[in-house]
Structure formats: structure tokens, C-alpha cells
Amino acid sequence: MKGKISRHRFMENLARIWAGLPTSTGRSYYHGHAGNRAVITWNEFDSHMKSIFENTARGTS
């Protein structure tokens, strides 16, 4: 949140933790392992994260 990494890098890092989140390719980092897959699109994920980042930058939540 302090701008040390980009929003998209942050999202890629989260996708490596939670199999249901997509990477920028649109697929889960763990796609196909034990039935894992992304459950939202990259655009949906980005939209939600953009809102969070903007609200945090303004000091609201």
C-alpha cells in the first residue's frame, strides 16, 4: 500500500497464495492442480483491487 510494488504485482503475489484468484493470464497459478482454477476474471480482480487501493490512498475503507 506504500507504493513499494505495483497493484498488479501485489495481485500476482496474492494469486500465488490463493488458488481461486487469477494471474494476469486469467488462470489460477495452480490451475489444474487438484482441481484448482480461478473463480473470477483478471478484470474483476483488478477492478476490486483498484477500488481498495484508491480508497486506501484517500484514507477511507
Question: pLDDT (tens digit, 9 = 90+) per residue, 4-58?
Answer: 899 999 999 999 999 999 999 999 999 999 999 999 999 999 999 999 888 776 6
Q: Side-chain half-sphere of 55: how many Cα atoms within 13 Å?
A: 8
pTM score of the predicted model: 0.81
Of 55, 51, 15, 54, the closest CA to residue 36 belongs to: 15
**Which pLDDT belongs to residue 1?**
54
**Which pLDDT belongs to residue 61?**
53
**Which pLDDT belongs to residue 2?**
65
